[in-house]
Amino acid sequence: MKTTVLCLTRAQRLCASGLREILSVSDEIAEAVATNKPVVALESTIYTHGKLGNDLAKEHLDLVRSHGGIPAIIAIVDGRPKVGVSYQEILRMIEDKGTVKASRRDIAYLGLNGRKIHGGTTIAGTMLLAKAAGIRVFGTGGLGGVHRGGETSMDVSADLTELGRTRVAVIGSGCKGFLDIPRTLEFLETQGCLVSTFADGRQGSVDFPAFWARDSGIQSPSTVYTEKEAAFIIYAQEKLGIESGMLFANPISEEHGIPASEMQAVIEQAVREANEKGFTGNNNTPYILGRLRQLTSDKTVVANKALVHSNIIRATKVSVELSRLLSPSSTQTGSSPLSQSPISAISRPTEATSEPAPALLPVSNILVAGSVAVDLSCDYSSPKTGITTPQSHVSNPSRISQSIGGVGRNVAVAAHLASGGSGVQFCSMVGDDVAGHTVLTSLEASGLDTSSIMKLDHRQHPEGRTAQYVAVNDGNKDLVLAMADMNIFSKHSFSDHWRSTVATSKPKWLIVDGNWAPPQIRNWIRAGEENGAKVAFEPVSAEKSQGLFCPERGLPRLNLYPESSISLASPNTYELAAMHTAAKENGYFEPMDWFEVIDAFGMRGARDRFVHLTSVELTDAGVPIQTIQLLPYIPTILTKLGSKGVLLTAILGKDDPRLRDRDEEAFILTRSPPTHPVVGGVYMRLFPPVETVKDIVSVNGVGDTFLGVLVSGLARGGRVDKLVDVAQRGAVLTLKSAESVSPLLGTLTEEVQNASNR
């Protein structure tokens, strides 16, 4: 790796200590700092002394790059401070038994004694060298602090004093639970260091984390809600000339955290033994950490690795947001970020605060949580006239094309285009593979925000393959069969980051697709409910549609009308039947509150009305009655009928204007008694297709497009029945396109707007 002696303007403003004259900075880091690219500093002590495995540095380097940043491991290599240490150099340092820990006090000794000693830099040492190199953001594990009894022993980590004088933003999981956390926070306050904890989806005041434990029982001095907000704070600190550092505490995930109550006993034992055996000074922490590892059977190690990964990802996202703030485009718009009052975001939270998110938070009209996949479409093309169906057990001639799809991605892109290119956020997962890189490139090219796309490290998630879908179509382009590898969505748990994303973006609509495992579908729905979003469910397939109505043991309950957890669903007839069967078999039609809603419909003897409003064929297939029985859980159901149109079935509230509109009278299936407190009636309307498409190019993504366009109008305040036709027009455009979503959907933006205003 090429290196250069730092000669950047930022380093030249250092005091005349001469540090820049011996500081070695890799060419990549020097160029990145000079052009305000998102660089993330990484300490080296965790590799040289952490005993967490030799591959850890490689994992961290890959994590930063996969999330859009440039990693800068900092260390003392052969007696010289270096920024941008290679993985091979780290391995050499690990193998050298003479490698020492290097804090601020050690840099001069190691660098100028002529002995070429290696040093793994601590938080304090890393901050000092990061600042010298012009790096603003540093991702690490946890902070040193005031040791128990520190008021008499004066055993206080140099990390704390460094935070008082070196302007670098440190993202870590608080400080370890065996330290004196209240005194640590008091010390940092005296040093003038900002301490703020990421809310991570929580409301109001939050605890300062205690490394392995998500909560310490000590309230954080302030709360930060997004990476963008943290970037504003860093920017403001720099513009105001405040030289102290910033600590952004990132709590360990619920999945990997060890409760403080569980850690307390082993911490007390380890601290007591350290005192009895005389482990003090810089020998105290290593002994306690090693003893905790033994006492918890390595649980602390698993948690440690998980939280460091999370912190590095968070630090990278903060650095990416800061890079955007510092780019010329953001400073030439006529208003400085400082004028947007980012400092208001760090005010001390109080119990009276009802809305935790400050005005700076990005607001999404639509948030889509679902799959993204590489789609392969295999269209049968027999040379024999009149033969349109591929044969089984043999190779068939076909035309094979590749595109980026996935139900969630298709819905998000459709909504994005129909909304005029703004207000849509997409949450999904990809693997660390060629397909994953292709997917991310495609999403960025389409204009979608990829900040909430999780890229799974293949070392931690060897089965985390990017999803792929293969469709085999007949000669008429109708689906014959499909093969889908979507395990990445069913095998991985709901991310705390996504819960935080929903809480901070406050979408009007949250669209959830059925590719998630049933518990994750419920977690998404609950996140939407908790943050005031209306939830739409896209069933994906007959099999996966049943996940919505799985057995509820241990899962958040699906609420019924008028407090329905789900506002809308868009199944086809197969998915509708599967959902209905699952709901019936798993007891969803047994609660008394379900019977009360159904009873309010007054559905006795409704077959003739079903036939009149739909058709004999649909009625005999059970489609109308299936939608009726699901309405208490999903008060608006749009059943996609392919070339036969769309059937809308919906509960009308007591004050719905359609109950009094003569033009809507023909679609009122039933009216509830005037005395009913919430239900006004049931609306059922069969919308014919807006166009018969003869030359179909591809059926992939047609239903997804329909839902995306529809919800783009609903997010503008439109009414479902006024938006069905324009949503069908969007589906027609995709039928005529080789892409999973037609790039021409943007031509419908004005029509969507007009339909929303009717």
Instruction: Give me the helix-helix angle, 592-601 and 623-630, nearest 10°.
Output: 130
Q: Give the pLDDT confidence score for residue 336 in this predicted structure.
A: 44
Q: Give the pLDDT confidence score for residue 20 in this predicted structure.
A: 54
Residues 109 and 76 in one domain: yes
Residues 54 and 77 in one domain: yes
Residues 103 and 166 in one domain: no
Query: Is 354 within the bounds of a domain?
Result: no
Residues 163 and 87 in one domain: no
Query: Is 659 within the bounds of a domain?
Result: no
**C-alpha dihedral over 410, 411, 412, 418, to 10 degrees?**
110
Q: How far is CA 241 from CA 198, 227, 331, in A?
A: 24, 21, 18
Bond prior to 342 in cis (omega within 30° of 0): no
Write out residues in the chain with pLDDT < 50, as ranges.
Answer: 2, 4-17, 329-363
Query: Is 618 within the bounds of a domain?
Result: no
Q: Both tokens of residue 121? A: 């830099």
- The pairing of beta strand 246-249 with beta strand 194-198: parallel
Closest C-alpha to 402, from 462, 469, 455: 469
Residues 71 and 92 in one domain: yes
- Angstrom distance (rounded) from CA 139 to CA 311: 6
Classify each residue of 403-426 as buried b or exposed e, where b means 16 or more C-beta atoms within 10 Å of its C-beta.
bbbbbbbbbbbbbbbbbeeebbbb
Residues 567 and 493 in one domain: yes
Residues near 297 by beta carbon (within 8 Å), at least 6 away in sequence: none
Residue 29 main-chain phi, psi, to 5 deg: -70, -40
Query: Is 655 within the bounds of a domain?
Result: no
Name the domain boundary from 109, 135, 161: 135
- Angstrom distance (rounded) from CA 464 to CA 64: 18
Closest C-alpha to 228, from 360, 118, 390, 367: 360
Q: Both tokens of residue 504? A: 């901070």
Q: Both tokens of residue 361? A: 């938070």
Read off the DSSP letter of residue 675.
T
- CA angle at 474 for the pair 470 and 476, rounded to the nearest 5°: 125
Q: Give the pLDDT confidence score for residue 258 in this predicted structure.
A: 83
Q: Is residue 469 a contact partner of residue 484, using CB atoms and an 8 Å limit?
A: yes
Residues 18 and 167 in one domain: no
Q: How far is CA 198 from CA 136, 252, 306, 355, 709, in A?
A: 18, 10, 17, 15, 34
Residue 234 main-chain phi, psi, to 5 deg: -60, -45
Query: Is 102 within the bounds of a domain?
Result: yes
Q: Is residue 178 a contact partner of residue 155, using CB atoms and an 8 Å limit?
A: no
How many domains in the chain? 3
Dihedral sign, Cα of residue 123, residue 124, residue 130, residue 135: positive
Q: Give the pLDDT confidence score for residue 357 in this predicted structure.
A: 37
Closest C-alpha to 635, from 695, 577, 558, 526: 558
Q: Give the pLDDT confidence score for residue 495 in this predicted structure.
A: 64
Closest C-alpha to 310, from 198, 231, 215: 198
Residue 236's domain comprises: 136-346
Residues 175 and 114 in one domain: no
Q: Give the pLDDT confidence score for residue 364 in this predicted structure.
A: 60
Distance, C-alpha 670 to centroid of its chain: 42
- Angstrom distance (rounded) from CA 731 to CA 560: 30
Query: Is 498 within the bounds of a domain?
Result: yes
- Beta-strand ranges (E) seen in 137-264 are 137-139, 169-172, 194-198, 223-224, 246-249
Q: Does the predicted TM-score (pTM) go above 0.85?
A: no
Q: Give the pLDDT confidence score for residue 452 in this predicted structure.
A: 82
Q: Give me the CATH number covering residue 295.
A: 3.40.1790.10
Q: How far is CA 302 from CA 176, 287, 387, in A?
A: 15, 18, 58
Q: Tell me the pLDDT tens digit for each residue of 349-359.
A: 333 333 333 33
Residue 200 main-chain phi, psi, to 5 deg: 55, 45
Q: Both tokens of residue 477? A: 């382009």
Q: Is residue 681 a contact partner of residue 602, using CB atoms and an 8 Å limit?
A: no
Name the domain boundary from 315, 346, 377: 346
Query: Is 361 within the bounds of a domain?
Result: no
Q: How far is CA 481 from CA 41, 186, 390, 474, 694, in A?
A: 49, 64, 10, 9, 21
Q: Both tokens of residue 172? A: 């870590």
Query: Is 661 within the bounds of a domain?
Result: no
Q: Tell me the pLDDT tens digit for each residue of 652-667.
A: 999 999 999 999 999 9
Bridge-partner residues for 198, per DSSP? 224
Q: How far is CA 132 from CA 14, 606, 736, in A?
A: 7, 78, 57
Q: Is 300 helix (H, G, I), strand (E, B) or coil?
A: helix
Residues 72 and 55 in one domain: yes
- Angstrom distance (rounded) from CA 259 to CA 424: 36
* Cβ neighbours around 478 below 10 Å, total: 14
- Angstrom distance (rounded) from CA 677 to CA 758: 27
Bridge-partner residues for 76, per DSSP? 81, 119
Q: Is residue 394 a contact partner of residue 340, using CB atoms and an 8 Å limit?
A: no
Name the domain boundary from 106, 135, 164: 135
Residues 282 and 154 in one domain: yes
Q: Both tokens of residue 71? A: 């990693």
For the chain, the distance separating the N- and C-terminal CA atoms, rounded to the nearest angstrom, is 63
Q: Give me the CATH number covering residue 543.
A: 3.40.1190.20
Q: Give the pLDDT confidence score for residue 150 in this predicted structure.
A: 66
Residues 128 and 140 in one domain: no
Bond prior to 539 in cis (omega within 30° of 0): no
3-state secondary structure 216-232: CCCECCCEECCHHHHHH
Residues 72 and 95 in one domain: yes
Q: Give the pLDDT confidence score for residue 338 in this predicted structure.
A: 44
* Catalytic machinery residues: 43, 176
Q: How many CA atoms lie within 13 A of 416 on its CB side?
A: 22
Q: Is residue 416 a contact partner of residue 446, using CB atoms and an 8 Å limit?
A: yes
Q: Is residue 580 a contact partner of residue 586, using CB atoms and an 8 Å limit?
A: no
